[in-house]
């Protein structure tokens, strides 16, 4: 009978220690999850800030850096700068864009020829 008491006491003590270890493990997992979420939020917000600032700094940022892009940017700068020989007043400026934001030509292209 004494052995049964020792076994039940041992089991209760072991169960109590196991519960404490499990609780500490769960708390550790929650802390690590919170840290991961904070780092993801910081990374995403920094990426959004970098993307928005790079778009503002670089006109036509999806274009490759080529002669056509540079000439178009230079023309727009000249056409919008007062005092330039190429200056066009705002009320006389016209630009037509397709639904995806690209310049649309004056006549429709014929596909499949």
pLDDT band for 14, please (50, 70, 90 cuts).
Answer: confident
pLDDT in the model for residue 92: 87
d(CA 86, CA 92): 12
Q: Where are the domains of the chain?
A: 1-57, 59-105
Contact present, 9 and 2 (Cβ < 8 Å): no
Which tens digit of pLDDT belongs to each residue from 39-90? 998 888 877 766 655 555 677 777 888 888 888 889 889 999 999 999 999 8
- Give the pTM: 0.38
Q: How far is CA 44 from the centre of its chain?
A: 5
Phi/psi at 78 (5° precision):
-65, -40
Instruction: Report the largest interatomic distance among the alpha carbons of the chain, rounded to a whole angstrom.
Output: 109
């Amino acid at each position: 009978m004494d052995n049964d008491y020792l076994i039940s006491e041992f089991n209760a003590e072991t169960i109590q220690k196991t519960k404490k270890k499990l609780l500490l493990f769960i708390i550790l997992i929650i802390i690590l999850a919170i840290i991961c979420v904070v780092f993801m939020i910081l990374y995403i917000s920094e990426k959004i800030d970098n993307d928005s600032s790079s778009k503002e700094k670089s006109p036509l940022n999806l274009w490759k850096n080529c002669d056509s892009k540079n000439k178009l940017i230079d023309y727009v700068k000249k056409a919008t700068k007062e005092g330039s020989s190429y200056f066009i007043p705002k009320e006389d400026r016209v630009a037509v864009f397709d639904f995806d934001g690209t310049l649309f030509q004056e006549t429709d292209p014929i596909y499949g020829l």
